[in-house]
A and B are shown apart, each in its own frame.
Chain A
Amino acid sequence: AQSVSQHNHHVILSEAASLELGCNYSYGGTVNLFWYVQYPGQHLQLLLKYFSGDPLVKGIKGFEAEFIKSKFSFNLRKPSVQWSDTAEYFCAGRFSGGYNKLIFGAGTRLAVHP
């Protein structure tokens, strides 16, 4: 079955620390992968997406993610977090044969302390 899993449900960091949020998917076919962010009280915003090509994807606000096919992973990274990065982060996949629906991970809540 197609699924997306996020390992860390809660992450607490200090400002300037490096961030890596894990995301794994389960599927052997073609997959598009996304990271969305949800700031408190706001709607989901797209951070970055991977469809094909260069497995290292740059997104907005200094975020990047690397697609590693052999590990079925699409981890999100940022070298130096800011207080304003406090939010919930969702990894999502769109799988071939699944029409156009997105399958989301459970989310990771990031709290950045000044």
Chain B
Amino acid sequence: NAGVMQNPRHLVRRRGQEARLRCSPMKGHSHVYWYRQLPEEGLKFMVYLQKENIIDESGMPKERFSAEFPKEGPSILRIQQVVRGDSAAYFCASSPRAILSQETQYFGPGTRLLVL
């Protein structure tokens, strides 16, 4: 039973380029969450998606960041015109069901983004 998959595991971009991070949830999971971990800090929530819907994007920066979870395929976190401050580990988590359920979020291995 495959866990949450993320790719790439490491991504190097120059300032101004675009970064696309992919997340495939566990089988049977329809809820995806993205978190960012800056150096020496804990994980910070970014966005919560269900298939084709953004449920909560309260943690997403207003500019340059977007996320989607299409009907088919993985969830994508897209960062346009990256800056050095975007360098971080980006973790995806998934869960089977919706809010207020006793479900656990299962985390992927993360994508470590380095902006030069």
- Which of A34, A49, A102 is the one whose CB lies under 8 Å from B45? A102
- Which of B43, B56, B93, B106 is the one whose CB lies under 8 Å from A99? B56
CB–CB B107/A44 < 8 A: yes
A45 to B91, CA, bound (A): 12
Asked if A68 is at the interface (CB within 8 A of a chain B CB), the reply is: no
Asked if A51 is at the interface (CB within 8 A of a chain B CB), the reply is: yes
* Shortest beta-carbon distance from A87 to chain B in Å: 14
Chain B residue nearest to A107 in the complex (CB): B42
Number of A-B residue pairs with CB-CB distance less than 8 Å in the complex they form? 59
A100 to B34, CA, bound (A): 12
Which chain A residues lie closer than 8 Å to B4 at the CB level?
43
Report which A residues bind B (CB closer than 8 A).
6, 32, 34, 36, 42-46, 49, 51, 90, 92, 96, 99-107
Question: Among the interface residues A44, A103, A104, which one has the most CB atoms of the partner chain B within 10 A?
Answer: A44
Asked if B109 is at the interface (CB within 8 A of a chain A CB), the reply is: yes
Chain B residue nearest to A36 in the complex (CB): B107
Which chain B residues lie closer than 8 Å to A90 at the CB level?
42-43
Chain B residue nearest to A91 in the complex (CB): B42
Which chain B residues lie closer than 8 Å to A106 at the CB level?
41-42
